[in-house]
Structure 1
Amino acid sequence: MPVAADQILRIPLLPVLAIQGIAVRRNAQFLPEPTGPRQGRAGRGPRLRLLITGDSSAAGVGAGTQGQALSGQLVGQLAKRYTVEWRLEAATGHTTQNTIEQLQGLSVQFDVAITALGVNDVTRAVSRQSFEDHQARLLDLLTGPMKARQVIVSAVPQMARFPALPQPLAWFLGQQAARLDHGLQTVAAAYPQVSHLALNLPDDPALAAPDGYHPSPKAYAIWAEQLAQLIR
């Protein structure tokens, strides 16, 4: 297998990447996780037990309330057809391994599970092979003890498009994000209950939160609608 261009250029670019990484962390605008309930019941119709899990995007960072975030917007869509019993298990900074550890402490079952992971695996230099191994363990947990009949894994975000990241750091992290997403697709294809959602958002500044790193409520609405279509 040929070596990717970003891997070849990693060593000569290392000083620049290091300086840019430090600057991004130092100048980053911190956005808290939104306020609001993280579990509940809504709607009328057949019962649907829903889990949303993952990192800061699953937790809704970039929105002011959970109602504007992924969980609230998705539940709002699904409540038109189902009695949705939902739960949000997500936290800023979580990698796939962190999410596994969080979910292992739960003794509950779900019909549908949504995952949103990958950015922190990228920034912590998790290899594609390790990422695939962790994702397989997560899917084993969701489809095994948690009994999920449908799992939707959201694509690893296209980090090259994050407004907060300068070049060449954006390109470098974007290459790794794409590599991990290819691994995620490979793992998902091995499970009949699992589908991969490639969230291709248009080039619209309104889709980014003020920090240039997280989705805005408008982006969460598009994401929720695409998830709802897959679930329906």
Structure 2
Amino acid sequence: MSDFFSALLILSALSGCAKKVPVQSAGNKTGVVAKPDSLKYLALGDSYTIGQSVPLNQSFPYQLTAQLNATLKVGAPTIIATTGWTTNDLIKGINNSGLVSQTYDLVTLLIGVNDQFRGVDQSVYRSNFIALLNIAIRFAGGNKDKVFIISIPDYSVTPFAGYNSAGQLSQIVKEIDEFNAINKTESSNENVNYLDITDISRRAASDGSLLAPDGLHPSAKMYGLWIERLLPLVKAKLHAK
């Protein structure tokens, strides 16, 4: 784990391509045009929310928005996320965003891979995740139907992780499952929506088209598969709004 972490730091330093979108709403620059009385969407997370190594309009928040706009009016998503963020980093990022008093019609939260990657104790992850759940619910104006939690993808199947031993890869899988068990349990406790996409991420073991050029993050194609699952859930809740 420590060797893998060191390798990631080296790669980031050499490539200089780490993507940072702390608070972002790009409007028509990405083809999503805000309309009068548009629904507001907030996406909270890390590199998986930003769409590291794919064009912004191919990230899952923008693909979701584009699909929703076939039947609804949804403005460009506001994104609070940065590559490498842990749950603690996301809490700090939200507090520094200037958006804490805002409310949204839709909130997604995907966070935890960097907690696992950096060896953050699972009890700390649980505590921080509960705090983020409460923050997401507050952003949704207290309406839990508007909050959608997305499971952590499994990066053990990616070429970037391939130099690890079989034992190390098995440990990554085990820990990803444990962290997801935490976020799923706490989501259930709060009665918010939960979407498991981890199985989709594991398809990359045999389908390289599901990975971005960096060999670590999802491709636009994989994000599209996430949206196939997420879209009907979100539409059902928003149409019932």
Range of TM-score over shorter length: 0.7 to 0.9
Counterpart in the other structure of 1:82: 72
Q: Name the structure 2 match of 1:50.
A: 41
Amino acid at match of 1:22: S
User: Which of residues 133, 141, 147 in structure 1 aligns to 2:135?
Assistant: 141
Aligned residues: 213
Query: Structure 1 stretches of 5 or more lacking a match?
Result: 1-16
Structure 2 unmatched ranges of 5 or more: 236-241
Look up the match of 1:71.
Answer: 61
Residues in 2 aligned to 1:95 and 1:113: alpha-carbon distance in whole angstroms: 18
The answer to whether residue 112 in structure 2 is matched with residue 118 in structure 1 is yes
Question: Is 1:22 aligned with 2:6?
Answer: yes
Pairwise CA distance, 1:178: 1.1
Q: After superposition, give the CA deviation of every residue in 1:177-212 in whole Å (9 maximum; x if it has no partner).
A: 1111100111001112x1221112134111011222
Q: Is the 8 A contact 1:152 1:195 kept in 2?
A: yes
| Counterpart pick for 2:50 among 59, 67, 71 | 59
Mapped to 1, the partners of 2:63 and 2:71 lie a distance apart of 14
**Equivalence for 1:169:** 168
Alpha-carbon separation, structure 1, partners of 2:225 and 2:7 = 31
RMSD across aligned C-alpha pairs, in angstroms?
2.5
How far apart in 2 are the matches of 1:211 and 1:220?
Answer: 15
Does the Cα contact within 8 Å between 1:56 and 1:91 map onto a contact in 2? yes
Identity %: 24
Per-residue deviation, 1:76: 0.6
In structure 2, distance between residues paired with 1:94 and 1:188: 20
What SS does structure 2 have at the residue aligned with 1:114?
strand
Match of 2:193 among 195, 200, 210: 195
* TM-score (normalizing by structure 1): 0.81
Q: Of 148, 153, 157, which residue of structure 2 is paired with 1:157?
A: 153
CA contact (8 A) 2:42 2:104 kept: yes
Residues 74, 225 of structure 1: 8 Å contact kept: no
1:19 to 1:88, Cα distance in 2 relative to 1, 3 A: closer
SS in 2 for 1:126: coil
> 1:20–1:191: structure 2 CA closer, same or farther, 3 Å change rule?
closer
Aligned to 1:132: 126
- 1:6 corresponds to: none
Partners of 2:57 and 2:6 in 1: CA distance: 33
